[in-house]
Amino acid sequence: MQVPLLDLKAQYAKIKDEILEAVSEVLDSQRCIGGEKVEQLEKEIAQISDCRYAVGVSSGTDAILNTLMSLEIGPGDEVITTPFTFFATAGCIARVCARPVFVDIDPKTFNIDPAGIEKALTKKTRAIMPVHLFGQMADMDPIMDFAKKHNLYVIEDAAQSITSTYKGKKAGSIGAAGCFSFFPSKNLGGIGDGGMMVTNDEKLYHRAFIMRNHGMEPKYYHSFTGGNFRLDPIQAAALLVKLPYLNQWSQARRQNAYYYNKKFEGKAVQTPGINPDCVSIYNQYVIRVPRRDEVVSHLKQKNIGCEIYYPVPMHLQKCFAYLGYRQGDFPQSEKAAREVLALPIYPELTDEMKDYVADAILSFWDN
């Protein structure tokens, strides 16, 4: 048997006709930039996120970048975030010439530990950017309390967590803004790159809306410098086809996670820790195992796809050496980087496939 980490062909096979029809409609219209499909997707994503506004952009990365630019975060500013994330989180902070300031993670959830934020605060802090990693939201109440007390923006990096909840509140709806990615491997993935910012703040919405199109309003008049961060209508059309399936796909991922959890009960495998206040959409199912790299080789031999998200925390990335962090500064993130392993969790997995994956892992410990 073969079990890839993700099988997008299995998803596509079920919705191919709908996707082709929707894409073909865009092509026939030759409305190749912006337009109805983008606007409709914005409306629907805002709605499912319990937000008033949404701005479609070219990627999750650009959702973060466009938001930071719209909030005028830049040189001299600091943004508190987690070192255990995909590069884009910290990368965008650096790209606006602000300084990423890292705070270690809660080892149970892999999300930023609010208890560490106070120590990272300086006079230059302008924002906190929690990342809702692997489909589970960060512990938002203490983050929001702290942000309110110190007058900081909270920008939710919700790239991996669309429709995920914390105390019943949707990802993206709690902070000043939330940023989603439609990278194809996400629960709601496009047929290329795409992203979206959601917000309840009308002023921020207007600025972000203009920012994504060179800060241009009216046409050819620019009162501030933006970029081309526009969402492509072909992506919007495909995403509109997929959107009605999102809940059932996320539910299937949750069922798969419960299935694995049961198989791993009482074994050497540490299953994902879920905060009881959260409902995860399981964009990834990430376990911790001792001798992780040997487990990876073992799985590869059995034709099972797996991945290490993420092998090098941000504070140890070469491009961030100038920040002056050292090995040992964030022990929980460093430990996670040594132990984590993402297993196939996609909705189309059969029980037979999950058994094969779980048994392969467990057989490693029998050897």
Ligand X SMILES: Cc1ncc(COP(=O)(O)O)c(C=O)c1O
Which spans of this chain sit near ligand X (rule: CB under 6 A)?
A: 59-61, 85-86, 88-89, 131, 157, 159-160, 181, 183, 193, 195
In the bound state with ligand X, the residue whose beta carbon lies nearer, of 85 and 164, is: 85
In the bound state with ligand X, the residue whose beta carbon lies nearer, of 65 and 117, is: 65
In the bound state with ligand X, the residue whose beta carbon lies nearer, of 65 and 361, is: 65
Element spanning 243, H or E: none
Helix axes 87-95, 60-70, angle to 10 degrees: 30
**Least Cβ distance, residue 249 to ligand X (angstroms):** 17
Six token digits for residue 358 = 């779980």
In the bound state with ligand X, the residue whose beta carbon lies nearer, of 61 and 259, is: 61
Cβ neighbour number for residue 253 with a 10 Å cutoff: 22
**Least Cβ distance, residue 157 to ligand X (angstroms):** 5
**Least Cβ distance, residue 96 to ligand X (angstroms):** 15
In the bound state with ligand X, the residue whose beta carbon lies nearer, of 163 and 181, is: 181
Q: How far apart are CA 127 and CA 218, in angstroms?
A: 30
Q: How far apart are CA 237 and CA 23, in angstroms?
A: 6
**Least Cβ distance, residue 85 to ligand X (angstroms):** 5
Q: Which among 154, 156, 158 has a CA at the least distance from the CA of 186?
A: 158
**Least Cβ distance, residue 121 to ligand X (angstroms):** 23
Whole-angstrom CA distances from 206 to 122, 173, 203, 261, 289 are: 29, 17, 5, 44, 46
Helix axes 292-301, 351-366, angle to 10 degrees: 130
**Least Cβ distance, residue 291 to ligand X (angstroms):** 26
- What is the gyration radius of the CA atoms in the chain, in angstroms? 20
User: Which amino acid, one-letter code, is at 50?
Assistant: D
Element spanning 66, H or E: helix 60-70
- C-beta nearest to ligand X: residue: 60
**Least Cβ distance, residue 130 to ligand X (angstroms):** 10
Is the preceding peptide bond at 53 cis, omega within 30 degrees of 0?
no
| DSSP letter (8 states) at residue 91 | H
In the bound state with ligand X, the residue whose beta carbon lies nearer, of 159 and 234, is: 159
In the bound state with ligand X, the residue whose beta carbon lies nearer, of 106 and 157, is: 157
Q: How far apart are CA 152 and CA 125, in angstroms?
A: 7
